[in-house]
Structure 1
Amino acid sequence: MNWQKKYIKKYYSPEKGWIDGTTQFHNLCRGFISETSKVLEFGAGPSNKTSQFLSGISAELVGLDVDLEVKENKFLSAAFTYDGSFFPFDAGTFDIVVSNYVMEHVAQPLLICKEISRVLKPGGVFIFRTPNFFHYVPILSYFFPMGLANWVRNLPDDAHDPYPTVYKFNSETKCREILNAAGFEIIELHLVEKEPSYGMKSRLLFFPMMAYERMVNATEKLRQFRVNIFCAAGKK
């Protein structure tokens, strides 16, 4: 067992009650998606764990992305590309829209949120996970080369480079402001700090990042410095 797996097992074991970020996000989705739901995964990309999860709990999963890679996603019942602005769907097509680490890449978040609202049925829900800019990881990724994110996470050399980020939606205040302007009401919004995945390259990174995780999770006064925003917003 390498040191990364050993440390995750020691400090972030599910046996000790720890829930990883992806599982927590999927649990949030599960609370709104039923076996009769028609779901749009916005920014679905190629085959991934979230697409697999969503396809298993919904009646139909449709994917939308600016990248043709979405056509390779085997968990989608249908895959569409678009130009980054208007969605190629009629109004009121979907029960749920889900995006997982997508909104940080969106240059026009108000336009996109309005499109999400348009394609949702009345009472439909938009569920997303996106980084909180007021955390050291998004701040560093904004100013440093994109490939650095893969390096600090100890990903393989052939891993896909991160897509460019703009962070125009990425604070609790911005989320609330833009969602309200697009016709949504917040149902749930959580700021979440999880295991230090960006500390997997070196123990010298892992332990300071773990200390940070312990600190911001210790008190709600520091919630604004947690790395992720998890949100479910209902169409008014």
Structure 2
Amino acid sequence: MLREKVENVLDFGAGRGAFWSDTQSAYRRHLRDLRTTGARVTAADIDEAVLSHPCSHEQALLVPDAPLPFPDGAFDLIVSDTTFEHLEHPEVVAKELLRVLKPEGYICARTPNRWGYVRLASNLLPNRFHVGVLKSVQPGRDASDIFPTFYRLNSPQQAKRVFRGKPVYHYYDSGEPSYYFGSPWLYRAFNLLHRILPAPLSTSVCLFIRQQ
């Protein structure tokens, strides 16, 4: 059960806040802005772009695999959207996330599913080709938002191993297609595919890890 009152939230891997700044919909911005819950939001990332994050109270620039610059038990809730696939040493990061999370707090993360077609296609290409390929597959994608992928924390099984001893919950999801070369026909085809995919082959998995 989530803590009764969430006062401090860490957005881990927040980047430049593209999910908020790249939409013109006031409704979507409201839904995605964690400040509307009344909590104090800290955006953290290894990219300096986080320092201009548009919907957070504080920003923190992280050093890869270094201790997080926060005291023990600083946060009631940690959220992370499409970041876990970029972790080269997930055990190191997991230890730090748990350290700064209060008892009964949750880590809530969405990441490409290890067995989804997005991850499988990505695995066929070395990281050095990702920027060039994504310019075609996902027109309009900012190259500054593309980072190396490792896929070492992208399934319930991997999460249970990395967060050893902690309760791990999950559900699978295939949301709106993102990779369709800008073609409305491919968008419709992928949208149909997402509706019929078996859950374990969904494009994304949402992971919930509880601190005890």
For Structure 1 versus Structure 2, the TM-score category normalised by the shorter chain is 0.7 to 0.9
Cα distance in 1 between the residues matched to 2:139 and 2:93: 32
CA RMSD of aligned residues (A): 2.3
Compute the displacement of 1:150 (Å). Answer: 4.1
**Aligned partner of 2:13: which letter?**
G
1:47 correspondence with 2:32: no
- Runs of 5+ consecutive residues of structure 1 not aligned to the other structure: 1-30, 217-221
- Runs of 5+ consecutive residues of structure 2 not aligned to the other structure: 21-28
- More off after superposition, 139-148 vs 83-92: 139-148
Summarize the alignment of residues 134-213 of structure 1 with structure 2, pairs less than 5 Å apart: 134-144=115-125, 145-147=129-131, 148-155=133-140, 159-179=143-163, 181=164, 183-186=165-168, 188-203=169-184, 205-213=186-194
**Aligned partner of 2:19: which letter?**
K
Q: 1:176 to 1:58 in 2, by over 3 A?
A: farther
Q: Name the structure 2 match of 1:5.
A: none
Q: Percent identity?
A: 27
Cα distance in 2 between the residues matched to 1:59 and 1:136: 36
Q: 1:74 aligns with which of 54, 57, 61?
A: 54
1:232 correspondence with 2:203: no
**Aligned partner of 1:41: which letter?**
D
Q: 2:79 aligns with which of 98, 109, 113?
A: 98
**Higher helix fraction: Structure 1 or Structure 2?**
1
Cα distance in 2 between the residues matched to 1:203 and 1:44: 29
List per-residue Cα deviations over 1:178-217 (Å, max 9, x = no partner). Answer: 22x1x5212x31011122221252245334423421221x
> How many residues get paired?
197
List per-residue Cα deviations over 1:57-110 (Å, max 9, x = no partner). Answer: 142001111111110112221111121121011111111111110000001111
Please give the TM-score of this superposition, normalised by the length of structure 1: 0.75
Kept after mapping to 2: 8 A contact 1:35/1:57: no
Q: Name the structure 2 match of 1:26.
A: none
- More off after superposition, 31-40 vs 136-145: 31-40
